[in-house]
A and B are shown apart, each in its own frame.
Chain A
């Protein structure tokens, strides 16, 4: 089973700051890595697919990058509405796996 190691577990950030979340895969998964945002009492929402592909309706401050088996989600200029938990997910092998999640709190 592919393990995704996500860091940090928690981040407390001031509005307008930049947030970087990393996800490291235990083996090669190509670009089959996706990022989700989950707000309290809501279902997860797809933010970035295939490591770096942005999605319609997702603010442009969210971006993703891949370097080998290391992936990053960046939130430029954090806004209050970005308070949520963020998860990475790999779909290279079925069934998929999720990272442990990163909770982003607004200071």
Chain B
């Protein structure tokens, strides 16, 4: 069974750094792109970017280029999303998802709250 299990909710202050994780299992990790999706409170889904675990090839949506960093650790089949300096506007639910084009499998989401 394919599973994507995300790390828990986080509360940070503006300017702080953060790295959240997406632990995968049940499929060959290097086979599919892993995408990250933001959902701000009461809003729709936004693509942040994709990473291909086999070679760490990464594509960012223009809105998120330079704002976040995607990475993977193949040894533990885990993908990461990180910020070096959070803003209040980064408060949102973040999902990881994977599939061969369509996103068949999703994590449960990680709520990030940025507040002073």
B47 touches A44 (CB 8 A): no
B107 touches A95 (CB 8 A): no
Interface residues on A, range: 20 to 34
Interface residues on B, range: 20 to 34
The distance from the CB of A86 to the nearest CB of chain B, in whole angstroms, is 11
A32 touches B59 (CB 8 A): no
In the bound complex, CA of A1 to CA of B103 (Å): 19
A residues in contact with B95, CB < 8 Å: 43-44
Q: Mark B14-34, 1 if CB is under 8 A from A, else 0.
A: 000000000000000000010
Q: Can you list 25 A-B contacts (CB < 8 A)? A: A1-B62, A34-B102, A34-B103, A43-B95, A43-B108, A43-B109, A44-B45, A46-B102, A46-B103, A46-B104, A85-B44, A87-B44, A89-B103, A91-B101, A94-B33, A94-B50, A95-B35, A95-B59, A95-B60, A96-B50, A98-B44, A98-B45, A98-B46, A99-B44, A101-B45
Q: Given A44-B45, A46-B104, A87-B45, output 19 extra A-B contacts at Cβ < 8 Å.
A: A32-B101, A34-B101, A43-B108, A43-B109, A44-B97, A44-B106, A45-B106, A46-B99, A49-B102, A49-B104, A87-B44, A89-B102, A94-B33, A94-B59, A95-B35, A95-B47, A95-B60, A95-B61, A98-B37
